[in-house]
Structure 1
């Protein structure tokens, strides 16, 4: 005799909380975005203030302020004591404007672009087509934002990431045996600058599209590193890559399909000096494809590009081996990325 399970009984036994939390997950992100846009963290940069002070500084209506500020406290971005608010350590480190580690520009442009793109996910799933934002309507597309001020804020936000990434790479890679490196797709050169500052014996090259040169020149000149960090404009697949002891490919391979990844790694191998090292980092997918954050990152790349996606660690190591590299080793990086390093054998 077949017994049909009562769905009411099943539902009662399963807590719907995780489903509800997932359904409204974007609400927390929007609270962060609004706080950055309205200047909440700047208003609290000098120390604790009450809600009335924050409202006067930011223009937040008194009816909205209590729940909004307490929500920020609940999210770990503010701390509340005796009715007064202050920035949490996290917010003070990354969300106060004019600080060297400010991520607010990245937060603002993420708000501007991410929701528009992910709002078209259903369409993308049906068609397989990337969902570009319209640059003529102010949408952000790669490094071609129509508003130069927003482009600078976005790059400043990325610099906060590259500061941390550069510090980690400076520690993880054995730079003592090398004298030069090239950062492929290095934008305005901040990662290269961090590595050059950490290891004064290194000379760096930032290789990117020619339209990036003015941004690079302005940034590197401001850091007084123009004599050690150079820019070479070109196309990864059409132009000669600089000869170097080390190549860094950060957030590069995920922009291409598998064949172009293989092609690029072969070109890097040819340009790398004997005994040199290739350094690859991305939000690589774990080999059993179970980490949801990595998979969401990969889905995002499929949403915004015709060929891009994240890729498995094992696949990266296979491509490196096919290109001629040896000793492909993988390790976690900053909790969100995977670092793969491999080597070109020294000349006999």
Structure 2
């Protein structure tokens, strides 16, 4: 690690080593709904924020908290210390105001409520190869989530939040002109189906997931007023065949599982598609040199924490798996940030 002068520097080491400090500052602000409050009030002093959020710490620590968020670029500040007033930065106002449909804080809420503690056991995961979440108490992650309506809703909104920008980008960048039907496997809150339907009026979409998810998905569909072209359907991809469609999609599904289950899911997608049909997976696809997409690599480690055997993959991996099943050709489309769509044609 070198600085711009070419001399060794500890800067990057300390930045990464203390990275959880910065994470917890942002996650705490999301938990307190600070950005939602500022979106409503437009501008507030530190004392007004302290009073509204019922902080009992010293004024100096409130200043530290708000000024750190300003330093990171999440807040804007006019004035200094006692005379300062704070407001949301544009990105924060759009994506972290809970009252806006563009809110992506669901993922941050889950990071704070679940994953922050679990990631403290990464060393144990690497040493044992075992999940470090609810499974340590002998519970299955997905069974536990699906039996608790509140936790399931938090999980679904987290997954939706992290993928919303990707779904919009896919809808805008991919050629859907020849498709009349799409089924999103593990469709969660139906956002992928909704974004495709919103941008392509000729397509009928189905969000396919376990029965417990349908009420959440239907609520989202109603919000977008697209009930005529987006439906929910219930199924279990371990037990059931996929519904037939011109396009089969999966957003953050394949990476949950080991290679054997990945191949099983790809096979089911292949079987549900007509000749010329298309399979699309949206994930943090790792770059071929495995030295650029840090998010994809960290998400793969998150699968160690969550499932023990799931992992993220490169486009070359996807190409190998899909062609082994029988798909004729593949391509990759970069979406937002570190995410991509990998596509296989039957």
The TM-score with structure 1 as length reference comes to 0.88
Partner of 1:251: 252
Partner residue, 2:10: 16
- What's the counterpart of residue 30 of structure 2? 36
**1:229 Cα offset (Å):** 1.7
Q: How does 1:93-172 map to 2 (within 5 A)?
A: 93-133=94-134, 144=145, 148-172=149-173
1:249-288 alignment to 2 at 5 Å?
249-288=250-289
Asked if residue 332 in structure 1 is aligned to residue 334 in structure 2, the reply is yes
* Aligned-pair CA distance for 1:165: 2.0
Q: What secondary structure does 2:145 align onto?
A: coil
Residues 1:48 and 2:43 are matched in the alignment: yes
Compare 128-137 and 167-176 and name the one that shifted more.
128-137
Return 5+ residue gaps in structure 2 as ranges.
1-6
- Using the TM superposition, give the Cα deviation of residue 311 of structure 1 relative to its aligned residue in structure 2, in angstroms: 1.1
Q: In structure 1, what is the equivalent of residue 301 of structure 2?
A: 299
Aligned to 2:178: 177
**Structure 2 vs 1, CA of residues 343 and 140 (structure 1 numbering), >3 Å: closer, same or farther?**
closer
| Contact 2:107–2:162 (8 Å) recurs in 1 | no
How many residues end up aligned between the 2 structures? Answer: 332
1:207–1:234 CA contact under 8 A, matched in 2: yes
Question: When the two structures are superposed, what TM-score results if normalisation uses the length of structure 2?
Answer: 0.88
1:64 pairs with 2:61: yes
1:4 matched to which residue of 2? none
Report the Cα distance in structure 1 between the residues aligned to 2:181 and 2:142, rounded to whole angstroms. Answer: 32
Contact 1:135 1:145 in 2 (8 A): no
Q: Distance in 2 between matches of 1:209 and 1:148?
A: 13
Displacement of 1:160 after TM fit? 3.6
Superposed CA deviations along residues 116-145 of structure 1, whole A, max 9, x for unmatched, are 211111111111111122698999757716
Secondary structure of residue in 2 paired with 1:226: coil
RMSD: 2.4
Contact 2:160 2:189 in 1 (8 A): no
Please tell me whether the aligned partners of residues 116 and 133 of structure 1 are also in contact (alpha carbons under 8 angstroms): no
CA distance 1:99–1:136, change in 2 (3 Å): farther
Greater mean alpha carbon deviation, residues 153-162 or residues 264-273: 153-162
Whole-angstrom distance in 2 between the partners of 1:173 and 1:151: 30
Contact 1:135 1:146 (8 Å CA) reproduced: no
| d(CA) in 2 for partners of 1:297, 1:16 | 26
Q: Distance in 2 between matches of 1:108 and 1:206?
A: 24
Match of 1:195 in 2: 196
User: Given the alignment of the two structures, is residue 320 of structure 1 paired with residue 322 of structure 2, yes or no?
Assistant: yes
Contact 1:138–1:146 at 8 Å: present in 2 too? no
| Distance in 1 (alpha carbons) for counterparts of 2:241 and 2:146 | 27
Q: Verify the 8 A CA contact 1:113 1:133 in the aligned structure 2.
A: no
Unaligned runs of 5+ in 1: 1-12
Q: 1:264 to 1:157 in 2, by over 3 A?
A: closer
Give yes or no for contact 1:254–1:310 (8 Å, CA) kept in 2.
Answer: yes
> 1:6 corresponds to which residue?
none
Alpha-carbon shift at residue 220 of structure 1 (Å): 2.1
Q: State the distance in 1 between where 2:215 and 2:37 align.
A: 33
Q: Is the 8 A contact 1:245 1:273 kept in 2?
A: yes
Report the Cα distance in structure 2 between the residues aligned to 1:136 and 1:245, rounded to whole angstroms: 42
